[in-house]
């Protein structure tokens, strides 16, 4: 009995101590962890780490734009070398109103411009360099892109951010360059006065810095004082080349920014962090309270945080400081950061961008999408189309809250982040009743992070269906915003249940929405056994793939129907549920979602390739089977000349051929067979010409081409002999060969 009493007393004392410690903790952006902290006290501190007012404002931006523009736009390079003649930036027109109008139509709230990229070329009329727009023919050297964009932002109600690259290849490569010139560190006045170019802002700074840091601070001063309010300053950690052990005086940069742009957040430093990739990939659980080994408020080094998990309990226990630092999920609408061309530089699909939007904004981060202007100073038409379509989808989906007239706690239905409901045990749940049934497939949940930090660790959404609660969605944390996506459900009662949390959950908003699924385009993939998989078409975007399936994420509730007898598919046709065997037939399929029909996909499939054997295939004969491996992503390629051996195949048995299909490789444009001859053999050794073929416009349209024979050909051995390559190239390549039989 005595032992039980002591145990109960000890537990009570521990509870009171922890409770007292919790009540003594004040809300802060950064809280130190001491050697005496227990795991419980560390978590108690974590739930008192909150965003600053600037960070919260940045989170509310949600969807923002990046613009990469400069010499690389004209050289078609991703990174310049700093040695470019400024006149290579041969800009004739500038349409910043068009930029802003397009970004506004997408629902974006801010744009960040690369005022100076790694090449050191500046897009404004800087007093401190001639390596920039002042040395080009644009507006007779008087042009200022930062100024033009600032004016357009004011016109369209967008915030403005600035990317100023710490790396500067011009200052490295130039004989008089300041980067790494081993100059002395001494007291400098910022800004340095330049005759005839006074500043309206009379603020002065005294810093102990070297030549390059002075140069950088002077340019920061220009950008932060002469172009209106700046809401974000963007630093990256790229170092294409270094020199002289150059160090950056971030403490000085930070003081200048906080003084001149008090509402600005700083990316790459203590305010906002990189998501860890440039592909638009998001973490399933994105905590913004993360551990630091040193005080982030005084640190100068902020390494990229690329791990899959950053802020779990176990990670918090290892930190010396707990700090609020939100993520930006950044990627480009085009393959690459800079514009190259409108023909081969692929653009992300509307599905892809909208999917990233929902995962990023709905995953406790900000979505930063790059749109590079073209050489006419405009966003290209395809980019504008995608932005417009994405904005329309966002408005159609999230512009109407289906819980607006629902019954439930007022604090969570008023769309006000400043009001909230504390969930108490044992239920830890919120019920919402809509009166009449509503159909939803999206739920938006927000925590009261400004006053209660991030607390929820696991939650589920339930609907009252068939007289019982049924789970329809589940996720881990919530934070600023969590978007739950699930197959559509119709009900009049919904319940949010928090299964695990770090402290009493404080839920600020819950909204119900409906995304009208669009019937996707379809694609066919046949394997060597003749089995065809029908699936939503994956958009071809080769640059930094993010590994997420946009079509799969967005196409829930879609049904696929198909035919193989030449008739048009409909909802009365066979329903696709698993791969189907297709031999010597035309497959047609259609996707239907919400009674909307997609476009009909069709493709003719010929002989089974499984039993084919390679006879000869030129200099790369060991790779020749890639021409008939049922994989359009692989290809056979060999040198093309008068002596080159053609592709010869043993079909395994005699077939009555009516046509052949040639699929050029999509990843190799220099080997497309424009003209050729088909030969056949009775023994695989002695060959005779049957007929010639010709395919046009392959370079601009590298799709599968079919050549129908004038007469039926009965053979086991067939040879394709190229005689002309598109563009007069010196290679020949085949992604897939297929033969059709009567």
- Whats the size of the chain, residue-wise? 742
Q: What mean pLDDT is predicted for residues 412-437?
A: 93
* Better pLDDT: 418 or 617: 418
Distances in Å between the alpha carbon of 734 and those of 486, 608, 696, 699, 737?
A: 41, 18, 16, 14, 7
Angle at 298 between CA 293 and CA 299, to 5 degrees: 50
Determine the Cα–Cα distance for residues 587 and 604; give it in Å rounded to an integer: 6
Assess whether pLDDT exceeds 50 at residue 9. Answer: no
- Most confident option among 296-300, 475-479, 615-619: 475-479
Q: Please report the pLDDT score of residue 703 as a whole number.
A: 81
Q: What mean pLDDT is predicted for residues 150-158?
A: 98
Q: What mean pLDDT is predicted for residues 572-601?
A: 90
Q: Which two tokens stand for residue 267?
A: 């990316």
Angle at 151 between CA 148 and CA 153, to 5 degrees: 110
Q: Please report the pLDDT score of residue 11 as a whole number.
A: 39
Least confident of 271-280, 283-292, 609-618, 647-656: 609-618
Q: Which two tokens stand for residue 538?
A: 């994956």
Determine the Cα–Cα distance for residues 738 and 660; give it in Å rounded to an integer: 6
pLDDT interval class at 537 (50, 70, 90): confident
Q: Which two tokens stand for residue 458?
A: 């696991």
Q: What mean pLDDT is predicted for residues 532-536?
A: 91
Determine the Cα–Cα distance for residues 42 and 188; give it in Å rounded to an integer: 43
pLDDT tens digit sequence for 51-110:
999 999 999 999 999 999 999 999 998 889 999 999 999 999 999 999 999 999 999 999
Determine the Cα–Cα distance for residues 64 and 84; give it in Å rounded to an integer: 30
Q: What mean pLDDT is predicted for residues 462-480?
A: 97
Share of the chain above pLDDT 70, in %: 94
pLDDT tens digit sequence for 667-700:
788 899 999 999 999 999 999 999 999 998 787 7
Share of the chain above pLDDT 90, in %: 78
Q: What mean pLDDT is predicted for residues 609-626?
A: 77
**Residue 111's closest CA among 119, 99, 94, 122?**
99
Q: Please report the pLDDT score of residue 462 as a whole number.
A: 98
Crossing angle, helix 350-361 and helix 381-398, to 10 degrees? 50
Assess whether pLDDT exceeds 60 at residue 622. Answer: no
pLDDT interval class at 314 (50, 70, 90): very high
- 316 contact partners, CB below 8 Å, separation of at least 6: 42, 43, 46, 289, 290, 291, 322
pLDDT tens digit sequence for 166-217:
999 999 999 999 999 999 999 999 999 999 999 999 999 999 999 999 999 9
pLDDT tens digit sequence for 439-450:
999 999 999 999
Q: Please report the pLDDT score of residue 547 as a whole number.
A: 67
Q: Please report the pLDDT score of residue 486 as a whole number.
A: 94
Q: Please report the pLDDT score of residue 643 as a whole number.
A: 59
Q: What mean pLDDT is predicted for residues 487-502?
A: 97
3-class SS letters over 307-341: CCCCCCHHHHCCCCEEEECEEEEEEECECCCCCCC
Judged by DSSP in three states, 301 sits in: coil
Determine the Cα–Cα distance for residues 335 and 319; give it in Å rounded to an integer: 38
Distances in Å between the alpha carbon of 183 and those of 186, 247, 465?
A: 9, 11, 73
Determine the Cα–Cα distance for residues 430 and 426; give it in Å rounded to an integer: 12
Q: Please report the pLDDT score of residue 550 as a whole number.
A: 72
Strands (E) located in 515-584: 522-526, 531-536, 559-563, 574-575, 580-581
- 686 contact partners, CB below 8 Å, separation of at least 6: none
Determine the Cα–Cα distance for residues 540 and 192; give it in Å rounded to an integer: 50
C-beta of residue 302 within 8 angstroms of C-beta of residue 296 = yes
Query: Which DSSP symbol is given to 683?
Result: S
| Cis peptide upstream of residue 426 (ω within 30 degrees of 0) | yes
C-beta of residue 514 within 8 angstroms of C-beta of residue 439 = yes
With the C-alpha atoms ordered 223, 229, 233, 234, is the resulting torsion angle positive or negative?
negative
pLDDT tens digit sequence for 548-579:
777 677 767 789 999 999 899 999 999 999 99
Crossing angle, helix 2-24 and helix 39-46, to 10 degrees? 30
Q: Please report the pLDDT score of residue 645 as a whole number.
A: 64
Neighbouring C-beta atoms of residue 242, cutoff 10 Å: 11
Q: What mean pLDDT is predicted for residues 628-655?
A: 86
Least confident of 94-103, 369-378, 491-500, 606-615: 606-615
CA-based R_g, the chain, Å: 31
Determine the Cα–Cα distance for residues 309 and 327; give it in Å rounded to an integer: 13
The continuous run of DSSP H or E covering 19 comes out as helix 2-24
**Residue 145's closest CA among 201, 69, 80, 236?**
69
The per-residue pLDDT of the chain, averaged, comes to 92
Q: What mean pLDDT is predicted for residues 401-421?
A: 96
Q: What mean pLDDT is predicted for residues 344-368?
A: 93
Q: Which two tokens stand for residue 59?
A: 């989170």
Q: Please report the pLDDT score of residue 538 as a whole number.
A: 76
Q: Which two tokens stand for residue 104?
A: 């506004």
C-beta of residue 123 within 8 angstroms of C-beta of residue 113 = yes
Q: Is 399 exposed, middle or buried (0-12, 13-18, 19+ CB in 10 A)?
A: exposed
Q: In degrees to the nearest 10, what's the CA dihedral of 230, 234, 235, 239?
A: -130
Determine the Cα–Cα distance for residues 332 and 542; give it in Å rounded to an integer: 12
Determine the distance from the C-alpha atom of residue 107 to the mean position of all C-alpha atoms in its chain, rounded to a whole number.
16
- The DSSP string of 29-76 is SEEE--TT--HHHHHHHHTTB---HHHHHHHHH-EEEEE--SHHHHHT
**Residue 559's closest CA among 571, 550, 572?**
571
Q: Is 651 exposed, middle or buried (0-12, 13-18, 19+ CB in 10 A)?
A: buried
Q: Which two tokens stand for residue 419?
A: 């009001």
Distances in Å between the alpha carbon of 550 and those of 444, 614, 678?
A: 19, 38, 42
Q: Please report the pLDDT score of residue 18 as a whole number.
A: 41
C-beta of residue 147 within 8 angstroms of C-beta of residue 94 = no
């Amino acid at each position: 009995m005595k032992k039980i009493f002591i145990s109960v007393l000890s537990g009570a004392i521990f509870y009171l101590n922890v409770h007292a410690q919790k009540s003594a903790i004040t809300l802060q952006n950064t809280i130190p962890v001491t050697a005496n902290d227990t795991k419980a006290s560390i978590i108690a501190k974590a739930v008192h780490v909150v965003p600053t007012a600037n960070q919260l404002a940045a989170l509310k931006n949600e969807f923002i734009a990046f613009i990469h523009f400069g010499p690389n736009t004209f050289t078609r390079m991703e990174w310049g070398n700093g040695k470019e003649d400024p006149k290579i930036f041969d800009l004739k027109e500038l349409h910043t109103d068009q930029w802003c109008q397009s970004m506004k139509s997408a629902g974006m709230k801010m744009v960040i411009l690369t005022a100076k990229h790694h090449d050191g070329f500046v897009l404004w009329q800087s007093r401190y360099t001639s390596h920039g727009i002042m040395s080009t023919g644009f507006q007779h050297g008087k042009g200022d892109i930062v100024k033009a964009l600032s004016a357009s932002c004011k016109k369209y109600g967008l915030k403005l951010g600035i990317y100023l690259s710490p790396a500067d290849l011009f200052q490295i490569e130039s004989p008089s360059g300041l980067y790494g010139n081993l100059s002395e560190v001494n007291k400098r006045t910022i800004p340095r006065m330049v005759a005839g170019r006074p500043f309206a802002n009379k603020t002065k700074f005294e810093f102990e810095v070297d030549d390059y840091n002075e140069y950088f601070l002077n340019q920061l001063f220009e950008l932060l004082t002469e172009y209106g309010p700046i809401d974000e300053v963007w630093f990256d950690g790229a170092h294409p080349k270094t020199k002289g052990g150059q160090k950056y005086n971030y403490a000085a940069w930070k003081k200048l920014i906080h003084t001149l742009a008090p509402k600005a957040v700083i990316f790459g430093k203590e305010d906002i962090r990189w998501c860890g990739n440039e592909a638009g990939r998001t973490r399933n659980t994105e905590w913004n309270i993360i551990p630091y080994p040193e005080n982030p408020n005084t640190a100068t080094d902020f390494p990229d945080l690329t791990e899959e998990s950053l802020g779990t309990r176990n990670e918090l226990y290892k930190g010396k400081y707990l700090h609020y630092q939100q993520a930006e999920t950044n990627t480009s609408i085009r393959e690459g950061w800079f514009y190259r061309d409108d023909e081969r530089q692929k653009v992300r699909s509307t599905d892809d961008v909208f999917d990233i939007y929902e995962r990023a904004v709905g995953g406790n981060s900000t979505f930063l999408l790059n749109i590079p202007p073209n050489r006419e100073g405009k966003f290209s038409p395809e980019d504008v189309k995608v932005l417009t379509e994405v904005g329309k989808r966002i408005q159609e989906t999230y512009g109407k809250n289906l819980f607006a007239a629902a019954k439930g706690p007022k604090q969570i239905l008023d769309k006000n982040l400043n009001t909230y409901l504390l969930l108490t045990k044992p239920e830890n749940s919120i019920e919402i009743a809509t009166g009449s049934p509503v159909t939803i497939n999206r739920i938006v949940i927000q925590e009261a992070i400004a006053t209660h930090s991030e607390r929820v660790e696991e939650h589920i959404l339930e609907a009252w269906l068939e007289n019982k609660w049924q789970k329809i969605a589940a996720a881990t944390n919530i934070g600023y915003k969590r978007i739950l996506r699930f197959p559509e459900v119709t009900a009049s009662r919904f319940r949010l249940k928090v299964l695990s949390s770090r402290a009493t959950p404080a839920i600020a908003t819950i909204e119900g929405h409906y995304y009208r699924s669009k019937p996707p385009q379809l694609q066919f993939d046949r394997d060597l056994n003749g089995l065809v998989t029908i699936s939503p078409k994956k958009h071809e975007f080769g640059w930094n793939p993010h590994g997420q399936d946009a079509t799969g994420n967005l196409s829930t509730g879609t049904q696929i129907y198909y035919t193989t007898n030449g008739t048009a598919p409909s909802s009365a046709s066979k329903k696709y549920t698993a791969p189907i065997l297709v031999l010597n037939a035309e497959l047609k399929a259609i996707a239907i979602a919400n009674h909307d029909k997609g476009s009909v996909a069709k493709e003719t499939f010929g002989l089974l390739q499984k039993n084919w054997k390679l006879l000869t295939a030129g200099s790369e004969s060991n790779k020749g089977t890639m021409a008939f491996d049922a994989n359009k992503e692989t290809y056979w390629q060999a040198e093309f000349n008068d002596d080159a051996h053609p592709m010869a195949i043993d079909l395994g048995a005699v077939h009555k051929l009516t046509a052949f299909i040639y699929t050029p490789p999509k990843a190799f444009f220099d080997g497309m067979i424009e003209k050729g001859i088909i030969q056949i053999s009775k023994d695989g050794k002695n060959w005779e010409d049957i007929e010639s073929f010709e395919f046009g416009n392959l370079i601009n349209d590298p799709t599968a081409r079919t050549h129908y024979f004038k007469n039926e050909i009965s053979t086991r051995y067939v040879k394709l002999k190229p005689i002309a390559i598109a563009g007069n190239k010196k290679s020949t390549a085949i992604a897939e060969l297929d033969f059709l039989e009567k």
